[in-house]
Amino acid sequence: MKDKKPRTRLVHGGTKRSQWGEVSEAIFLTQGFVYDTAEQAEQRFIESGPDEYIYARYGNPTVAMFEERIALLEGAEDAFATASGMAAVNGALMSMLRAGDHLVSARALFGSCLYIVEEILPRFGVEVTLVDGANLDAWRAAVRPDTKAVFFESMSNPALELVDIAGVSEIARENNALVVVDNVFSTPVFSDALRQGADVIIYSSTKHIDGQGRTLGGVILGTREHIRKVVEPYMKHTGGSMSPFTAWVQVKGLETLDLRVRAQAQSAQAIADALDGHDALNRVIYPGLPSHPQHGLAQRQMGSGGTMLAIDVKGGKEGAFRFLNALDIVVISNNLGDAKSIATHPSTTTHQRLSEDQRTMLGITDGMVRLSIGLEDTNDLITDLQTALNAV
């Protein structure tokens, strides 16, 4: 499959057929596996080979299909599937860091990611330095010879600020620090993060990979050595593995991922173009617009503006709420990457826990609404959004 194009990898990669020869991937909804003999059980606990399973917390054939398929798309040697995106972020960081280590992290992070780096890691003796992720000089000043890893969202939630993966990786590499990238907003379709220098890539597969708002999941990708020697022991003993049911839903999600994400990004670009300059808006934030301060980086790094945009509605919270309550097709919710377009008011929902100072630092205004563009007809979406803006 390695010589095949991404869409082929997404449809066929990792498929394992049972003795029945089923076309569609089977769900192996089992926690345990039967051994032919006591000797075989003993041997499997000493070392299990490929396609030899012990217990679903360690591995399961349906989960393995999901892991192989996403690893093939990303061009990674291996992957470990997790129970949620946060299990992946926590697992990737906790499995590699020890007391006394130093981590440099971008400060523009999703609230739960910020909680891990600000609250949890320091409890276990990890020193954390937060930097302005868009500023390479800030990374250069913060990364030290004893820095074990750097961590950032390649496109931040919700202000859509990009981090230069190649630039930060070069700085990290000079200090032998590992580069850990939360790539959720960039999506696996627009990712070339490994070639750009990332060592470990994380996705919340709850988002574009499921793509239809059904299941929670996540994945950690990297070298075979890192995934099997560092990540797997931590994950399998602490219980954050993906369930076979989730893997079954999401392995089918992967089949249509490329088509869906490209259609969503195309719509997002058309919507950003149409809303830009609307009287009810202070600003449209979309990396695909030339007005975005990192438009050039977005083109270089992703070749797209992505599927998410943010708008700053005039009139603060009141204006934003009037807009949200006037929407007809776009639903008010807080997931993203879904077939259904979703509008979120970060300052009163996903980022409510943050102080006003933190929100200001992250560029989250009271009028900001995050839009996840779905698969509806683009013109219907533009009409819906413009009608709601006219109501502001």
* Residue closer to ligand PLP (CB basis): 206 or 269: 206
Those residues whose C-beta lies under 8 Å from the C-beta of residue 35, and which sit 6 or more positions away, are 41, 44
Query: Which of 33, 110, 139, 323: binder of ligand PLP (CB under 6 A)?
Result: 110
- Closest Cα partner for 91 from 284, 226, 287? 226
Query: Which of 129, 154, 204, 250: binder of ligand PLP (CB under 6 A)?
Result: 204
* Tokens linked to 145: 């010879």
Residue 85 as a binder of ligand PLP (CB under 6 A): the answer is: yes
Q: How far is the CB of 224 from ligand PLP (least distance, A)?
A: 24
**How far apart, in whole angstroms, are the C-alpha atoms of residue 113 and residue 154?**
13
Residue 186 as a binder of ligand PLP (CB under 6 A): the answer is: no
* Residue closer to ligand PLP (CB basis): 101 or 153: 153
Residue 113 as a binder of ligand PLP (CB under 6 A): the answer is: yes
Stretch that binds ligand PLP, among 9-17, 181-189, 260-268, 367-375 (CB under 6 A): 181-189
Query: Which of 162, 177, 184, 284: binder of ligand PLP (CB under 6 A)?
Result: 184
* Tokens linked to 379: 């013109």
Q: How far is the CB of 89 from ligand PLP (least distance, A)?
A: 6
Q: How far is the CB of 380 from ligand PLP (least distance, A)?
A: 26
Residue 84 as a binder of ligand PLP (CB under 6 A): the answer is: yes
Those residues whose C-beta lies under 8 Å from the C-beta of residue 363, and which sit 6 or more positions away, are 108, 159, 161
Q: How far is the CB of 388 from ligand PLP (least distance, A)?
A: 23
Residue 89 as a binder of ligand PLP (CB under 6 A): the answer is: yes
Instruction: Report helix, strand or coil for 218.
Output: strand
* Tokens linked to 299: 């083109």
Q: How far is the CB of 335 from ligand PLP (least distance, A)?
A: 7
**How far apart, in whole angstroms, are the C-alpha atoms of residue 70 and residue 388?**
38
Those residues whose C-beta lies under 8 Å from the C-beta of residue 162, and which sit 6 or more positions away, are 134, 154, 155, 156, 287, 294, 297, 298, 301
Residue 106 as a binder of ligand PLP (CB under 6 A): the answer is: no
* Residue closer to ligand PLP (CB basis): 86 or 364: 86
Distances (CA, A) of 196 to 64, 179, 231: 26, 10, 22
Stretch that binds ligand PLP, among 39-47, 55-63, 105-113, 301-309 (CB under 6 A): 105-113
Residue 129 as a binder of ligand PLP (CB under 6 A): the answer is: no
* Residue closer to ligand PLP (CB basis): 106 or 128: 106
Residue 268 as a binder of ligand PLP (CB under 6 A): the answer is: no
Bond into 158 cis (ω within 30): yes
* Residue closer to ligand PLP (CB basis): 10 or 216: 216
Give the residues across from 102 on adjacent strands. Answer: 127, 147
Residue 235 as a binder of ligand PLP (CB under 6 A): the answer is: no
Residue 188 as a binder of ligand PLP (CB under 6 A): the answer is: no
Q: How far is the CB of 314 from ligand PLP (least distance, A)?
A: 26
Instruction: Report helix, strand or coil for 94.
Output: helix
Query: Which of 68, 78, 164, 182: binder of ligand PLP (CB under 6 A)?
Result: 182
* Tokens linked to 100: 């006394």
Residue 133 as a binder of ligand PLP (CB under 6 A): the answer is: no
* Tokens linked to 15: 């498929």
Helices and strands counted in the chain (H then E): 15, 12
Q: Footprint of ligand PLP on residues 312-341 (CB under 6 A)?
A: none
Q: How far is the CB of 236 from ligand PLP (least distance, A)?
A: 19
Q: How far is the CB of 112 from ligand PLP (least distance, A)?
A: 6
Query: Which of 218, 287, 319, 337: binder of ligand PLP (CB under 6 A)?
Result: 218
* Tokens linked to 8: 């082929």
- State residue 326 phi and psi, 5-degree precision: -95, 0
Strand pairing category for 78-82 and 102-106: unpaired
**How far apart, in whole angstroms, are the C-alpha atoms of residue 153 and residue 160?**
10
Which runs of E-coded beta strand occur in 183-256?
200-204, 218-222
Task: Provide the binding-site residues for ligand PLP, judged by CB under 6 A.
Answer: 84-86, 89, 110, 112-113, 153, 157, 182, 184-185, 204, 206, 216, 218
